[in-house]
Structure 1
Amino acid sequence: MTAHASTTTVSWSEANARRLARQGLAAGSAVRPTSPSGAVAAMLGAHAQVLSAAELSVGLRAPGVTRADVRTALWADRTLVKAFGPRGTVHLLAAGDMPLWTGALSAVPSGAGPFSTDARMTPDQVEAVLVAVGDALDGAELTIDELSDEVVGRTGPWAGDLVMPAFQGMWPRWRQVLHLAGHRGALCYGPNRGRKATYTAPGVTPLPGPEALAALVGRYLHAYGPATSAHFARWLAAPRGWAGQLFASLAGEGAIEEVVLEDCGPAWVAAGDTGFGAAPARGVRLLPYFDAFAIASRPRERLFPGAAHQRALAGGQAGNFPVLLVDGQVAGVWHQRRSGRRIAVTVEPLAELGAGRLRALEEQVARVGEVMEGTATLSVGEVTVGAHA
């Protein structure tokens, strides 16, 4: 690092190496998460629309952790919560972080939404639905149909009007605020009842919005900094102007500090968090679908350089392909196919791997097998499976 006019300049290599180390993804990292909740907290939530991918994201960061450990943490120990997280998508979140998450996410401004005028709800109707959801789920675990009946019964027939386009039909009006109920702390996922998901109340009290947002920005910058307010806005699916004002306010309070990030210009870290090692990232890693590191790290063209930008992104969107990291950058894609306890892993590198990296890749594949409680074998070749929707 070099200093210019009292502002620290951080290279992409330095930033990337620190991000990897702080998530337990660096080769030979001395500090790695020791529990599912620790791994989830370090990455700021594991995307869990595909739960098996979330289990793998966690296990690949925390030595010895398997998918059974993740499920125990989620449904028995309750140190993890399956809830609506950043971008309104389903995540595993650390239970201890739920006051922060609900306080921060409920303070993020939202627009009118993608719904037609005749499908929208008034602010009073939104509040009525949120109260109804919280009351219905207090001490209960309900399927979506059971919850819908409760909400309509507690609010009125208007909440049940089938006005929302769904996969093979129409959903009732109230469901457009399902994720908002999660952000407000009124709703999270419960254990499945057979093949049906259930919802329950997380039993948390959200932190006040300003306090929660300040804490979330600090956590985000610790994990993915240096970063700009625009990076934060994309990660959170928040308005860019609002995020810029938030960062300016925190900078004025001395909570965050400006640096210069290579290929980005001015960026931010938490105040005083300007230490970066000189050693670049080394090693081979496999990351599953929708892994938090691949989605949140910016600038994206540095993480997905050259051919990786075309092969491992779906229309510029990260997460739709599982990726191979070589020395901290995306260098290929991979896929797994399970049959009983056997897991066939196909890896498509974008450049030839030497003997040492092939051995490291074999170790990663073996770890995939351990996490998923099976026996994994490696094939190097073309991945013919397309991007996940």
Structure 2
Amino acid sequence: MQTIPVSWTAASARRMDRQGLLTPFPAGDTSPADVAGRMLGAHAQVASAAELSLALRLDGATRTAVRDALTGGPGSGRGPRPTLVKTFGPRGTIHLLPARDLSWWTGALGALPERAGALGPEAGMTAAQTDEVVAAIGDALSGAELTVDELTEAIVARTGSWAADPVLPAFQTMWPRWRQITHTAAHRGVLAFGQDRGRKVTYTNPGSAPASPTRSLRELVTRYLHAYGPATAHDFASWLAAPKGWAAALFASLAEQGRIEEAPFMSGRAWLAAGDTAFPDEPARGVRLLPYFDAYVIAGRPREELFPGAAAARALSRGQAGNRPVLLVDGVVAGVWHQRRSGRRVALTVEPLGRLGAAHRRALAEQAERTGAILEAAAELTLGEVAVGPHA
């Protein structure tokens, strides 16, 4: 039982250590899938950001190592099975998840309460229609990789033309009705991303049936607390985009089972996985360049400690983390940065929010060089204002 309050400094150091942000994991002992498991997924809406998130935590790795883990390596399907899966993960956003964990991930995500749809009855889908389309997707994608258009045709053939009604406004066009439940199909275990066909995305059925919801949610909570604890049920709900009351009830149930335990954290109380009460004595030290939506900043709470002072105004967008790549100094956000690639060179502009001492400048130069190596390009570092906006 934790009795001495856990400080922000201790929590930050433990989170960074467990994610390979203090010392990268040795490549011979740890794979990109192992790293993704420790992070609880790498946000992959921007593919290069996911590659950087995983590779920077793995000693000597480059983006190629991550790509090989996602595709199975060089060749055309004759290599090893992929160890990473690209699918819709926490918050319904695209993530890279370990293939070996997909069963409990879908078991947990499929158990989340359904949110009320924002679409009206003329554009929405009933529960029965959702079930029908999910079954059609699972059947159509079994042993196949289909583009969106091909999958739309397959769904219509199995359900009816209503599934393709163009009712979803998207990017100055209208998407077919069924696409509003793409993430639902992924969370029920019948859809994941396949290999790109040229510039076209494909989907496939990953062939991993969801595990028991009870066991899966227990697995998710304990792994979350191992990676990001101490944390409250509210923190967990925000990270997962789940209802706060549902998360509080889940934590209360797991506490009754002895799976998690409450501990003093800073001036309040938060949760840890049962028995996982060891924290480092030394604070986090070092400099890191974290890409868009890196797991450490998305899950890191309290936000006011992770984004102190000017960092909140500069690096958060309406309170949301991840829209800007950040400079991390000794475990807290201390600036923003931007990259611009041109051929075999990548220009990195880093905007510190305070003065960097000589040691931090040297560490930053090393991290810029490491970032270039991960991206398989020669890095050019400039200190100055980042003039572009979020998601640029």
TM range (shorter): over 0.9
Equivalence for 2:51: 55
Q: In structure 2, how many angstroms separate the alpha carbons of the residues matched to 1:213 and 1:23? A: 21
- Residue pair 1:21, 1:29 contacting (<8 A) in 2 also: no
For residues 68-217 of structure 1, the aligned pairs below 5 Å read 68-76=64-72, 77-217=81-221
Q: What amino acid maps onto 2:181 in structure 1? A: V
Q: How many residues align?
A: 384
CA contact under 8 A between 2:27 and 2:60: conserved in structure 1?
Answer: no
Residue 110 of structure 1 contacts residue 238 of structure 1 at CA under 8 Å; is this kept in 2?
no
CA deviation after TM superposition for structure 1 residue 7, in Å:
3.6
Instruction: Please tell me whether the aligned partners of residues 298 and 322 of structure 2 are also in contact (alpha carbons under 8 angstroms).
Output: yes
Q: Deviations over 1:52-102 (max 9, x none)?
A: 000000111011111111111001140000000000000000111101110
- Whole-Å separation in 1 of the counterparts to 2:9 and 2:376: 34
Give distance in 2, aligned partners of 1:28 and 1:350. 25
Q: CA RMSD in A?
A: 1.5
Q: d(CA) in 2 for partners of 1:121 and 1:343?
A: 45
Q: Distance in 2 between matches of 1:245 and 1:326?
A: 36
Query: In 2, distance between residues paired with 1:192 and 1:245?
Result: 41
Instruction: For structure 2, list consecutive stretches of 5 or more residues without a partner in the other structure.
Output: 73-80
Match of 1:11 among 7, 10, 19: 7
Tell me the alpha carbon deviations over residues 207-244 of structure 1, each in whole angstroms, 9 at most, x when there is no partner.
10010000000000000000000000011110100000
Percent identical pairs in the alignment equals 62
Once the two structures are TM-superposed, the CA of residue 355 in structure 1 deviates from its matched residue by: 1.0
- Distance (Å, rounded) in 2 between the aligned partners of 1:169 and 1:31: 45
Instruction: Tell me the distance in 1 between the aligned counterparts of 2:11 and 2:350.
Output: 27
Q: 2:322 aligns with which of 304, 319, 323?
A: 319
Instruction: For residue 203 of structure 1, report the CA deviation from its aligned partner.
Output: 1.0
> Per-residue deviation at 1:33?
7.2
Residue 346 of structure 1: which of 341, 346, 349 is its match? 349
Partner-residue secondary structure (3-state), 1:40: helix
SS of alignment partner, residue 346 of structure 1: strand
Please name the residue that 1:24 is paired with.
20
Which residue number in structure 2 is paired with residue 285 of structure 1? 288
User: For the residues of structure 2 that align with 1:96 and 1:303, how far apart are their CA atoms?
Assistant: 31
Instruction: Determine the C-alpha separation between the residues in 1 that align with 2:137 and 2:24.
Output: 46
1:36 aligns with 2:32: yes
Q: Does 1:376 align with 2:374?
A: no
Tell me the TM-score normalised to structure 1 length. 0.96
| Superposed structure 1 runs of 4+ greater than 3 Å apart | 27-33
Pairwise CA distance, 1:31: 11
TM-score (norm 2): 0.95
Quote the offset at 1:167 in angstroms: 1.3
Secondary structure of the structure 1 residue equivalent to 2:339: strand
Distance 1:29 1:38, change over 3 A: closer
Native 8 Å contact 1:24 1:62 kept in 2: yes
In 1: Cα distance, 2:8 partner to 2:114 partner: 32
Counterpart check, 1:364 vs 2:360: no
